[in-house]
Amino acid sequence: MKQLQLYKYTTWALLVLNIFMISFFFITKPKHRPPRRGNFRNNAAEILKLNENQHATFIMLAEQHGYQMDSIRTLQNALLQPYFESLVNNTNNTYTDDLLKEFQQLEGKKITLTYQHFNEVKEILNPSQQPHFKEFMQKVLRNILLGKKKNPPPPKDF
């Protein structure tokens, strides 16, 4: 009889311990992260405090700049394949040097166009908005120079 009593108490103790452990895991579960703010264009409009007309112009400039960058990237990608295929084909170095120079020229063009783009953005600002341009550029440069580094996904809940 004493052994049966011991088993009952042990069973209840283990049940309470299990309930405690499960509730502990639910209580200490990390909160869901808020979704990242959409796109940088909207953040830029907030930082620069653009009115509706300026915002429309800004979006147009950003789209135009995006198309220019995409076309240059396409040209660069077209140059990369023959450049690296030259390893297999054993082509002469002048051909690869020409491809590399052309790639570098396109990269320089991207930098120049980006500078012009930001200058155009600066020109649409009113004098009262000019002080916000420094903060805007700092965030843009952080974005450009650090790249779009993606954080690893949060651990899955089991």
Task: Give the separation between CA 23 and CA 28, rounded to whole angstroms.
Answer: 9
Closest CA to 108 of 146, 72, 67, 63: 72
DSSP class of residue 38?
S
Amino acid, res. 34: P
pLDDT digits (tens, 9 = 90+) for 43-101: 888 888 888 898 899 999 989 999 999 999 999 999 888 888 888 887 777 888 888 89
pLDDT digits (tens, 9 = 90+) for 98-141: 888 999 999 999 999 999 999 999 999 999 988 888 988 988 88
| Average pLDDT along the chain | 85
Which CATH topology does 51-126 take? Four Helix Bundle (Hemerythrin (Met), subunit A) (1.20.120)
Amino acid, res. 57: T
CA distances from 137 to 16, 130, 132, 143, 157 (A): 58, 11, 9, 10, 39
37 pLDDT band, cuts 50/70/90, is: very low
pTM: 0.64
